[in-house]
Chains A and B, each alone.
Chain A
Amino acid sequence: MTAPLADLVLVEDTHFYDDRQFGVYDRMRTEAPAYYYQPLDVFLLTRMEDVRYVSTHPDQFSNAAGLTLNQLRMAKAGASAAFERFNEPGGELVITKDPPRQRALRALMSQNLTPRYLQGFGDALDGFCRDLLDRAGDGSPFDFVSSIAAQLPLYVAAALLGVSEVDIPRMKSWVAALEDLTRVTSAAELEEPGQRFDELKRFLRDQLELKRRVPGNDMISAFLASTLDGSPPSEAIVLAHVATLMSNGGTTRLLLSSIASFLAASSSQLELIRADPGLLDGVIEECLRLMPPARGFVRTATADVELAGTRIRAGQRLYLLYPAANRDPGHFTDPDRFDPARRQAYGHASFGFGTHFCLGAGLARMEAKALFTELISRYSAIRAAGTPTRYEHVQLNGWATLPVTLHR
């Protein structure tokens, strides 16, 4: 690969993210660890130490001025204002804030996503996994993404939020709308998902009203009972965070599918886990590392700083490229190797670092563990049943379709 890096680093193009991306990252790490991507005035970070540093210094690197490459592109096209219709006045969202406000907003959610709280949903989760696998059949090909991976997070979100299963098909279309909002390339494309998003807001307002009248053991009731600045959080803030919870089903869908694809690619892996169920945790972490569901996030420097030998001015952006950091040979031995027993299994960047560390990490891992524990208890093999297709998205990473068969 002797072409100039500038010809190869095409991070706004979804087709860049095939297997060739990793060779490009290797060159970036050595030639330009803070690679200046001129079209969006952003430095692309490919080394783990730099990704970790930026993530853990929110006083120097802000979340408040854009989080995705698509947002930077829309801002450059003058289309940011079109997104404003989705922001309720006062509807602050934790991921777009910096400390100290970010910590207060995070505390609203974190109590309801602790392992202890989630344990209470363990039985329901196991039930969902059994139901979904019951429908998978034995030996006939099906799409793992639509039949299982997309469904489980929806059922879990509905249970956590105290939403009736009857409303799950509508939830599914709203979650899809939220994802579509993240990949629009023009203001005109916002219209249709925007309408679905408006429906979601109306639905959530109704749910809030129901829970106000009859509180239950669910996260909406918990939000309504919590305090922010000494009083219950505003409806706008609750809406923003509930919508986020629902939409995180997307990254979970991608994780569950990637695990299935790794198991299908290695004929022995499933048997190894059957023999040693303790391996499943490491399998999940290696899938997270090698195929991070969220590919990266933007930060904005709030002061001039030097990073990776590069001068960055206040106001310039940095992009934390997780798939690159996760294969940094300075951090992982033999980084391209799928090794569930590796010592540094949890050291990947896929849930981020620092104060914005993924709030849903425990829940995502719990879903993955429950689903694949159930799958492995029933089946001795999962095999590819055709060519999978990639999800064409700049920020979200994984399969759109994954045809497989399951065998007892």
Chain B
Amino acid sequence: MKITIDRDRCVGSAYCQRIAPATFDLGDDGIAVVLDADVAGPQAAAAREAEADCPSMAISVGES
């Protein structure tokens, strides 16, 4: 999958890290980073859930 984070929108809520820990983490600067975009199955579903639940709409999940 292609997963991008808009650094200008990210507010460091860490929801993505909590919902899809295999895919997202927070960097030391408090902004989210993509750990692994090559996720499938339940982890891919979790990544889409993180996209929907991000409080500042900073995540974009698409097909590669």
- Chain A interface residues toward B at CB < 8 A: 56, 103, 106, 110-111, 113-116, 346-347, 351-355, 357, 361-362
Contacts and interface: CB of A to CB of B under 8 A. Distances in A.
Contacts of A103: 8
Interface string B2-20: 0000001101111101110
Best-surrounded residue of B9, B13, B26 (most CB of chain A within 10 A): B13
Given A111-B29, A115-B26, A362-B14, A353 B56 contact: yes
A110 B30 CA distance: 6
Chain B facing A: main interface SS: loop
Given A116-B26, A357-B11, A361-B13, A56 B53 contact: no
Given A103-B8, A361-B13, A354 B56 contact: yes
B57 interface: yes
B63 interface: no
A103 B9 CA distance: 9
A310 to B, nearest CB: 23
Contacts of A110: 11-12, 29-30
B57 A56 contact: yes
Contacts, number: 49
Nearest to B19: A346
Contacts of B18: 346
B30 A346 contact: no
B14 A357 contact: no
A362 B11 CA distance: 11
Contacts of A114: 12, 26, 28-30
B52 to A, nearest CB: 9
Contact of A116 (B9, B11, B28): B28
Nearest to B17: A115
Contacts of B13: 351, 357, 361-362
A335 B56 CA distance: 23
Contacts of B11: 106, 110, 354-355, 357
A357 B28 contact: no
B28 to A, nearest CB: 6
Contacts of B30: 110-111, 113-114
A406 to B, nearest CB: 29
Interface in B1-47: 8-9, 11-15, 17-19, 26, 28-30
Contacts of A355: 9, 11, 56
Nearest to B56: A354
Contact of A353 (B17, B19, B29, B55): B55
A353 B14 CA distance: 13
Nearest to A109: B30
Nearest to A56: B57
Contact of A357 (B17, B26, B53, B56): B56
Nearest to A348: B55
A302 to B, nearest CB: 19
A322 to B, nearest CB: 13
A115 B30 CA distance: 8
A351 B55 contact: yes
Contacts of B53: 346-347
Given A115-B14, A351-B55, 4 more contacts: A115-B26, A346-B15, A355-B11, A357-B11
A320 B56 CA distance: 16
A29 B64 CA distance: 40
20 contacts: A56-B56, A111-B28, A111-B30, A113-B12, A114-B29, A115-B17, A115-B26, A346-B18, A346-B19, A346-B53, A352-B55, A353-B56, A354-B11, A354-B56, A355-B9, A355-B56, A357-B11, A357-B13, A357-B55, A361-B13
A113 B14 CA distance: 11
Nearest to B8: A103
A296 B9 CA distance: 22
A105 B56 CA distance: 17
